[in-house]
């Protein structure tokens, strides 16, 4: 399996929208986010949750979400709300919903629970069984320890997501700026956490998504934090404000020079491994040696660039005989 399945939808920017706000759900439809998730969890007060379910069903059924992955975040399984969240939203708008996001996931069993419930609802409603995906949000120590089992718990899993605010509370990291570096710590305090989530996601062949950055007016700081998870290989990040959307789309798209390199390697490698190119396993482009592993790296970058609608600016010319 390639590192990132090109079949998966791009999720460079995943816009969080409270299900209690019909106005924000309307506005979200006009923003260039790859994904929108309508929230029933922490952005909605306990007393507003039942009304929010109804708002979300209406928004999914009547809104124009063209080009966006449509996700609903339900409440986590330690609450009383989860089963009704899933039943009301999926029965009411399952045909217009791509994924259910399960926050604070602790174990594979919790994912199984959601998988079975979705299958029962899809069967009852006459929806295609298995079409609705699951996004698993890792937000505590036990969830991270079980991240691999969570990623492998169901073929519905499409993403493994980092939930930094809850996670920092869970492990008691000493900071109040979610995602920011910590002056007393001589390194990146998120490296292990992000890498563990990335490895769990990639082992299963699904996407890895970084969580929110709460200083929403500081777009430069957002870019810096996003740039770190993008550099590791993450596919996208949550956005909480329209000002963060373009930045996320840019940061999680390949750089132009990397995209050009990828397309060039794919063309060059196809040429050199063909009879016309000499059936070579390894070849040179300029000063760089390329082989099958270079092709695999290039495939990942090319898939992301194509999904982002990028255009190449360099063409491969086979050398004259």
Residues that bind ligand GLV (CB under 6 A): 103, 139, 163-166, 211-212
For residues 253 and 12, give the distance between their C-alpha atoms in angstroms, rounded to a whole number. 7
Q: How far is the CB of 164 from ligand GLV (least distance, A)?
A: 4
Q: How far is the CB of 172 from ligand GLV (least distance, A)?
A: 14
Q: How far is the CB of 8 from ligand GLV (least distance, A)?
A: 21
Decide whether 18 or 163 has the Cβ nearer to ligand GLV: 163
Would you say 76 and 104 are in contact if contact means Cβ atoms under 8 Å apart?
Answer: yes
Q: Where are the beta strands (DSSP E) in 20-114?
A: 35-39, 69-73, 99-102
Long-range contacts of 196-201 (CB under 8 A, 24+ apart): 196/144, 196/147, 197/138, 197/144, 197/147, 197/160, 197/161, 197/162, 198/232, 198/233, 198/234, 199/147, 199/148, 200/147, 200/148, 200/150, 200/151, 200/160, 201/151, 201/159, 201/160
Would you say 10 and 307 are in contact if contact means Cβ atoms under 8 Å apart?
Answer: yes
Number of residues that bind Mg ion (CB under 5 A): 3
Q: How far is the CB of 211 from ligand GLV (least distance, A)?
A: 4
Beta bridge partners of 17: 38
What three-state secondary structure class fits 175?
coil
Decide whether 85 or 139 has the Cβ nearer to Mg ion: 139
179 binds Mg ion (CB under 5 A): no
260 binds Mg ion (CB under 5 A): no
Q: How far is the CB of 212 from ligand GLV (least distance, A)?
A: 5
> Which region among 7-15, 52-60, 165-173, 268-276 touches Mg ion (by CB under 5 A)?
165-173
63 binds Mg ion (CB under 5 A): no
> Which region among 131-139, 147-155, 175-183, 271-279 touches Mg ion (by CB under 5 A)?
131-139
Would you say 82 and 72 are in contact if contact means Cβ atoms under 8 Å apart?
Answer: no
Q: How far is the CB of 87 from ligand GLV (least distance, A)?
A: 22
Q: How far is the CB of 48 from Mg ion (least distance, A)?
A: 17
What three-state secondary structure class fits 285?
strand
Q: At what angle do helices 82-93 and 108-125 cross, to 10 degrees?
A: 30
163 binds Mg ion (CB under 5 A): yes
What three-state secondary structure class fits 87?
helix
76 binds Mg ion (CB under 5 A): no
What is the DSSP pairing of strand 13-18 with strand 133-138?
unpaired
Decide whether 122 or 166 has the Cβ nearer to ligand GLV: 166
Decide whether 209 or 303 has the Cβ nearer to Mg ion: 209
Q: Which of 115, 166, 235, 263 binds Mg ion (CB under 5 A)?
A: 166
Decide whether 92 or 164 has the Cβ nearer to ligand GLV: 164
The binder of 164, among ligand GLV, Mg ion, none, by C-beta within 5 to 8 A per type, is ligand GLV
Q: How far is the CB of 106 from Mg ion (least distance, A)?
A: 13
How many Cβ atoms sit within 10 Å of the Cβ of residue 315? 9
The binder of 211, among Mg ion, ligand GLV, none, by C-beta within 5 to 8 A per type, is ligand GLV
Closest residue by beta carbon to Mg ion: 166
What three-state secondary structure class fits 247?
helix
* Tokens, residue 257: 């020079």
Decide whether 48 or 165 has the Cβ nearer to ligand GLV: 165
Where does this chain bind Mg ion (CB under 5 A)? Answer: 139, 163, 166
């Amino acid at each position: 399996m390639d590192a990132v399945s090109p079949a998966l939808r791009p999720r460079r920017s995943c816009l969080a929208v409270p299900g209690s706000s019909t106005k924000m759900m309307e506005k979200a439809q006009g923003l260039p986010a790859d994904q929108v998730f309508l929230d029933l969890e922490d952005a909605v007060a306990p007393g507003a949750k039942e009304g929010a379910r109804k708002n979300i069903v209406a928004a999914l059924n009547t809104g124009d979400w063209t080009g966006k992955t449509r996700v609903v975040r339900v409440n986590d399984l330690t609450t009383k709300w989860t089963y009704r969240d899933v039943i009301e939203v999926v029965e009411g708008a399952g045909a217009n919903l791509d994924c259910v996001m399960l926050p604070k996931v602790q174990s594979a069993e919790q994912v199984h629970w959601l998988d079975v419930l979705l299958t029962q609802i899809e069967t009852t409603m006459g929806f295609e069984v298995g079409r609705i995906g699951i996004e698993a949000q890792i937000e505590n120590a036990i969830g991270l320890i079980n991240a691999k089992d969570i990623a492998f718990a169901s073929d519905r899993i499409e993403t493994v997501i980092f939930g930094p605010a809850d996670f920092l509370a869970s492990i008691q990291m000493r900071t109040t700026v979610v995602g920011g570096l910590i002056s007393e710590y001589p390194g990146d305090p998120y490296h292990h956490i992000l890498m563990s989530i990335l490895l769990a996601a990639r082992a299963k062949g699904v996407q890895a998504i970084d969580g929110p950055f709460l200083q929403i007016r500081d777009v430069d700081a957002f870019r810096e934090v996003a740039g770190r998870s993008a550099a590791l290989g993450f596919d996208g990040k949550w956005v909480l404000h329209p000002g963060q959307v373009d930045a996320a789309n840019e940061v999680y798209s390949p750089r132009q020079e990397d995209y050009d390199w990828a397309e060039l390697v794919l063309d060059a490698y196809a040429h050199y491994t063909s009879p016309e190119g000499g059936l070579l396993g390894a070849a040179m482009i300029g000063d760089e040696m390329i082989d099958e592993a270079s092709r695999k790296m290039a495939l990942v970058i090319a898939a992301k660039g194509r999904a982002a609608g990028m255009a190449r600016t360099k063409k491969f010319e086979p050398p004259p005989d």
